[in-house]
Amino acid sequence: MKIAHSLSAIALGLTLATQVNAAEFTFAKSIKPNDNTLVLFLDTDSQVANFNYLKPETQTHLNKVIEFSDFKAGYGKTLEVIAPNGSDHQRILLVGLGEQPKLDAAKMAKLGGNVHAKLQSAKQANVSLDFSELKDSAINAKYAAEFAHGANLRDHRFEQYKKEQDSHVVNYTLDVENLDQAVKTHKLLQSIEQGVFLARDLTSEVATEMTPVDFAKAAKELKKLGVKITVLEPKQLKKLGMGALEAVGRGSEEGARLVVAHYQGNKNTPIALVGKGITFDSGGYSLKTGASIARMKSDMAGAAAVLGTVKAMALAKADTNVVAVMGMAANMVSQFAVAPGDVVRTAEGLSVEIVNTDAEGRLAMGDLLSEMKDRALNEVNPELFTVATLTGHAARAMGPYSAYVENGPARAAKISRQIADLGDLWADGAEVSRSRREDYDFIRPRTLADDVLSSNNAASAVTARGHQFPMAFLAIVGGLDKHGTESAQPLPYVHMDIAGSGVEGGDWQHGKPTAATVSSLFARYCL
């Protein structure tokens, strides 16, 4: 009897995610000889003869095709053989690994995504994958799980508004040496996937169906995983002095919401995550026009990412303590909306002049950062983050990568560098930026009515240091300017601007949400 362990993404997804993958994975110690497709992984030193279960005529056929095609098994290269001689498989797909010592988790996951896309488009039903060229049993198991992880991430889709959804499922059998290790690793990676999928689905949902109230309802689903959820409404925000967040939501019928998600896997100092949750950003009275307003339903990707991170940690039963606070609002135009020239009062007691109502994200997060700062003062070695699709400048400056803007204590602790390096392993590239005194000078008060300026009145993409100075605003409004490197109580703070990395290719009008930040944060604190 064939020894096998099956982990179905569909079965898991039915209870844990709004969308599911069209892929199922079975880890086994043998392949199925009659599957539609056989995938053979070859490195630069591999020989077809290594796969000794293949019939001699099949080996001869493959060797000829390899020779005639000059296939060198470079990383990511593929060679497809249809109706191979002597084989019951309809096709054999040769996949290059390159030089094995240069393989890593990110490369294997990317390979899984690319191979799955090829097989899915070819409507293959049953696929066997031979990982035997990865000789080390631990590596064999790990990379098989990473392959499945990449395939799932690539395949995830949001299709509920389409007339016809793609229902095709690819059933994979993965040949591995250490079944228990493969299953254990895959289960952990599935926790990450479910967090990513939640964030992607929330970001993809249309704005009329994903209001601040709807987001709060989605967050409450995490109670089933042991996550404590708290939701505050506009009257409560006013009572707490959170005038900035409350002001952003005034133009919409529902108003703003503060959503708190707390997963306590230990009693250590909680990781503090603040997410920007603008469910639709019209720009307010500084109205966006043309293409700039397209896909502004995605301006809550920061909040979605931090909620997805909490879900991933909860599913994995991670030994972490994380508090995510999300400032949710629709930035709309109405007789109640804030207008340029208005002054609002923050939780820190500062007055802020609103020059441009399209600079709303920093207002939605500033009050929350202040609250997290107050809590952090009573903790040991706290770390604070804001996560937001904040500026066009970040996308212009960094391309399809995140921009991490750090304060002095965070730089001293190398927090941004650590997350960026882990992101390289988890397909979430980032660039590290520094906050400088010029950024604080940019937002100095200009009138007798305000303590700090929220923004200028020009697009961030054409403003010098357009993604750095908003971090300075957040630091001041959050009260972190008093907790720098030279202070009695330094507090590490990193602002993660994901405007460039939030969608594939940085194409906010047509791109697919990545939610890649979930993987980077999970990797730093849980792996």
- Cα→Cα distances 186→28, 88, 167, 200, 337, Å: 13, 29, 23, 20, 48
Residue 289, C-beta contacts closer than 8 angstroms, at least 6 positions apart:
none
- Cα→Cα distances 104→127, 144, 297, 446, 524, Å: 23, 12, 35, 52, 17
Whole-angstrom distance, CA of residue 68 vs CA of residue 343: 73
Q: Would you call 157 a catalytic residue per the annotation?
A: no
Whole-angstrom distance, CA of residue 121 vs CA of residue 52: 30
Helix (H) or strand (E) holding 281: strand 271-281
Q: Amino acid identity of 482?
A: K
Here the tokens at position 370 are: 């202040």
Look at the block and give the residue holding tokens 């207008």.
339
User: Is 233:242 a contact under the CB 8 Å cutoff?
Assistant: no
Q: How many other C-beta atoms are found inside a 10 Å radius of the C-beta of residue 62? A: 24
| Angle, alpha carbons 63-67-68 (nearest 5°) | 120
Name the active-site residue from 297, 362, 373, 524.
362
Secondary structure in 3-state letters for 204-250: HCCHHHCCHHHHHHHHHHHHHHCCEEEEECHHHHHHCCCHHHHHHCC
User: Is 517:495 a contact under the CB 8 Å cutoff?
Assistant: no
Whole-angstrom distance, CA of residue 463 vs CA of residue 392: 10
The 3-state DSSP class for residue 2 equals coil
Q: What share of the chain is helix, strand, coil (3-state, %, to 5)?
A: 40, 20, 40
Q: Would you call 362 a catalytic residue per the annotation?
A: yes
Name the active-site residue from 288, 396, 411, 417.
288
Helix and strand element counts for the chain (H, E): 16, 18
Here the tokens at position 417 are: 């560098």
User: Is 244:338 a contact under the CB 8 Å cutoff?
Assistant: no
Task: Report, as residue numbers or ranges, the catalytic residues.
Answer: 288, 362
